[in-house]
Structure 1
Amino acid sequence: MTSFMARALRRLVHGSDGSVTLMGLYTFVAGTMIGAFALDYTYLEATKTQLQVAADQAAHAALYNRRSMSEEDAKKVAIELIQPLLPSGRYGRILTTDSIEFGTFDRESAVFTAEAGSGKAVRVKASMTEVKDNAAPSYLFKMLGKDHFDVAASSVFMTYMPGCLKEGIMADGVVDLQSNNSFSNGFCIHSNSHVSINQNNYFEPGTVVSMPNITDLDMPRSGFEKNTGLQEALRDQRMNLNILNRLEGIQESLASGKGARIPGYITSATTVPLQASSVQQSMLTPGRIYRIDCKGQSLDIDGATAPIQNVVILTTCPVKFANGSKLFDAVILTTSTDVKSVTAPQGLQIGKNDNCAAGGGAQIITLGGVSVASKLSMFGGQILAKKDVDFAANADGLQGASIVTRGKIDGTSNSRMGFCLSGMEQNFETDYYRMAQ
């Protein structure tokens, strides 16, 4: 019996059936480890993706709300926003106020720098860690003694201003330009519909002419031959003209005398009521905001006798400028919705001709349209309109011009438009947001 048992054991050890059993055991253990790794890896990648989405949404929300809120309030809004996505009852404190920092972002070095009080950029760090007692649990890796994992994601958003919205002519409708116009390096012409060009126009290298589809460009058959630089200037792009959504808010801010929209040359927050159908600088005190009631008529502004300057004028009436009127350090805003709520016979100058020096600019804002007969000139000047803008021959915007409208822009001939870069600081703008990291 003993010899029979020994022979059986030897057959088990040395036989092929035994080796297959041991190999199966090794395979099972290896397969289990690979499965554990794959399951936990997949879970961790999914968790990290969720954290990245949360960080991106929180960063955008924090920076967007920072323009109208304190840092702490903007942080709270961002944290509240991601609760439905990653509820704290299940995921713990994904974000805290300490994990949201405002500051600046240097695009060249790709470095974020925390800076208290800034609204230029934000960095958000979303995390599930052992220190915060919300680390991501492991599953099959528990068999190897690994109970949890630290997972984190970071997002940086920054504000920016598209160059074309700072200086250029922008319209949701058609931009229609005729002949013998000149546009210098950096200046932008954009339509969210299409651009129509006649001939003998000059586009200096660096000029941008854009629309959603450049094949919609309307021009004569010889258009590229008769419009030097046009082909090189063309770009496919659509732009959200967000500043036009803010016109009512700008009006409310100016009327209240409070907020960041108030120009620096205004020294009194008290709005001065005035009844008049015509006004000139001698009737106005520099540094004040005027709300003018035109008694149901149009408001005639004489800026030719002396430039209208260092004032804000608010009215519900259509505005008519006298020949040769000038606006320096001034805002004219009308809530009139007439298709020609702002008109000038000729020679309207928006901004001081100061070779792109800081200050001296002026802004015209209307919920209607603008029409200037001829010789419109802009020097650090801005026109914001809900309806059409048209200007006739000999417009001059060589030193800083920005025209933005929901309607169309109709410009005739012999105009010069150029890029100034400086001297546009007082123009009304709204931030755009993009992911930096």
Structure 2
Amino acid sequence: MPPFAARFRHLIRLHAKREEGSGTAMALILLVACLALAAFAIDLQRVNSLDIQLQNVADNAANAAILARSTQTEAQAKTAAVTIAQANLPVASTGNVIVANDVEFGQWNAVSRTFSPVAGSTDAVRVTLRRTAANGNPIRMFLLQVAGISQMSMTRRAVMVGYDPDCLREGFVAQGMVDIQSNNTFKAGFCIHSNSVVKVSSGNSFEAGVKVSMPDASRVQMPNSGFASSPGLQAALSSNRYDIRILSRIQTIINGLRAGSNNFVPKYITNKSVISVSDTWFKNNTPVAGRIYDVNCSGAARMPSRSAAPCKRW
């Protein structure tokens, strides 16, 4: 073998046995792995931040909608929600995350925890915010694009329930005692509530679906005959306490009704002129539908019964 060839083979054997360069190859492999993990962590943190932001804005929009719905039309309440959402997530930077149809009014079932859209409802609202490919505004990935992930879709919803317990919609509600006199029949859906105690005289009848509540239902006051003289009362009893926030607004509501304000006068009122009468007027007269009556109580205020005219305004 020529001397040059032999020397060349000898050098090849020497270099094949050396390990000085192996660390460089391993370092390059680890560097690529670390960069991939860093890319995943950075984009994941960004997505998590955007997720929180989207949910917070959905909550704020739903809150704005349910508050607006208490005094405004459904369309106006939807506009309020869209305005709040777009103020926090401008169209220029995040695309159009919400439109009016993404604001739905309806009813919330607390037992099944489900929302059912019902047009015209004031009970609850569901707001949906979207950053999706179908909506044209997905979340763009930065470093994860090297792994083939260029975008991510995200949808967040918020349901807001208005503070409107059954007893504040239909029935007798008081901070102090509610005293029910004899010979009344209470129909399904009616509620009698006191944040103190309810007193029930004999001879009252409570249909299924009536609620009689107080902080401690065991404290209900009855005659010696007990439940026997008030059919349905025992089944109607429940323990509840309400924050009756409407109390601080009563005078404002009365003033609004007297002034004929659209924020307070129901739609079924066809004539906003107020008719002032005494409580005894109802014994010989019948109220006209669609009118507002301002009742001046001649005696101490009392809860209405079949034999007494209600001493209140409506």
Interval containing the TM-score (normalised by the shorter chain): 0.5 to 0.7
Q: Structure 2 vs 1, CA of residues 82 and 243 (structure 1 numbering), >3 Å: closer, same or farther?
A: farther
Distance 2:172 2:12 in 1: 99
Q: Structure 2 vs 1, CA of residues 36 and 169 (structure 1 numbering), >3 Å: closer, same or farther?
A: same
Match of 2:3 in 1: none
Between the two proteins, the alignment pairs up a number of residues equal to 299
Matched to 2:167, the amino acid is C
Matched to 1:195, the amino acid is V
**Aligned residues of 1:342 and 1:371 also touching (Cα < 8 A):** no
**Aligned residues of 1:79 and 1:95 also touching (Cα < 8 A):** no
Match of 1:303 in 2: 282
Distance 1:32 1:251 in 2: 68
Distance 1:158 1:16 in 2: 70
Match of 1:6 in 2: 12
**Aligned residues of 2:141 and 2:152 also touching (Cα < 8 A):** yes
Distance 2:181 2:305 in 1: 16
**Aligned residues of 2:192 and 2:213 also touching (Cα < 8 A):** yes
1:238 aligns with 2:242: yes
Deviation per residue, 1:271-321 (Å, 9 max, x gap):
3xxxxxxxxxxxxxxxxx4358xxxxxx574333x224217xxxxxxxxxx
When Rg is computed on C-alpha atoms for both structures, the one with the higher figure is 2
**TM-score, normalization: structure 2?**
0.65
- Alpha-carbon distance, 1:41 to partner: 2.5
Match of 2:293 in 1: 332
1:166 aligns with 2:172: no
Alignment of 1:43-54 (within 5 A): 43-54=46-57
Alignment of 1:318-329 (within 5 A): none
**Aligned residues of 1:67 and 1:119 also touching (Cα < 8 A):** no
Q: Structure 2 vs 1, CA of residues 235 and 182 (structure 1 numbering), >3 Å: closer, same or farther?
A: farther
Deviation per residue, 1:360-382 (Å, 9 max, x gap):
xxxxxxxxx7247xx83289x97
Deviation per residue, 1:121-169 (Å, 9 max, x gap):
6553323356777543324313324444333323455669533233432
- Alpha-carbon distance, 1:195 to partner: 1.8
Deviation per residue, 1:196-243 (Å, 9 max, x gap):
65998989676544345x39x6579x9999567659833244243537
- Alpha-carbon distance, 1:73 to partner: 4.0
1:55 aligns with 2:33: no
Q: 1:248 aligns with which of 246, 252, 276?
A: 252
**Aligned residues of 2:178 and 2:199 also touching (Cα < 8 A):** yes
Distance 1:180 1:119 in 2: 36
Match of 1:395 in 2: none
Matched to 2:166, the amino acid is G
Matched to 1:126, the amino acid is L
Q: Structure 2 vs 1, CA of residues 32 and 262 (structure 1 numbering), >3 Å: closer, same or farther?
A: closer
Deviation per residue, 1:103-132 (Å, 9 max, x gap):
6569699575586xx455655332335677
Match of 1:376 in 2: 305
Structure 2 counterpart SS, 1:303: helix
Alignment of 1:82-231 (within 5 A): 82=85, 86-88=88-90, 91-102=93-104, 104=106, 118-120=120-122, 122-129=125-132, 134-157=137-160, 162-171=165-174, 173-175=175-177, 177=179, 187-192=190-195, 194-195=196-197, 208-212=211-215, 214=216, 218=219
**TM-score, normalization: structure 1?**
0.50
Matched to 1:11, the amino acid is K
More strand by share: 1
Distance 1:64 1:151 in 2: 26
- Percent of aligned pairs with the same amino acid: 20
Match of 2:82 in 1: 79
**Aligned residues of 1:209 and 1:234 also touching (Cα < 8 A):** yes
Name the structure, 1 or 2, with higher relative contact order (CA <8 Å, separation 6+).
1
Distance 2:198 2:63 in 1: 36
- Alpha-carbon distance, 1:38 to partner: 3.5
Q: Structure 2 vs 1, CA of residues 69 and 308 (structure 1 numbering), >3 Å: closer, same or farther?
A: same
Q: Which runs of 5+ in 1 are unaligned?
A: 272-288, 293-298, 312-328, 335-340, 345-368, 386-427, 429-437
Distance 1:300 1:179 in 2: 18
Match of 2:4 in 1: none
Q: Which runs of 5+ in 2 are unaligned?
A: 1-6
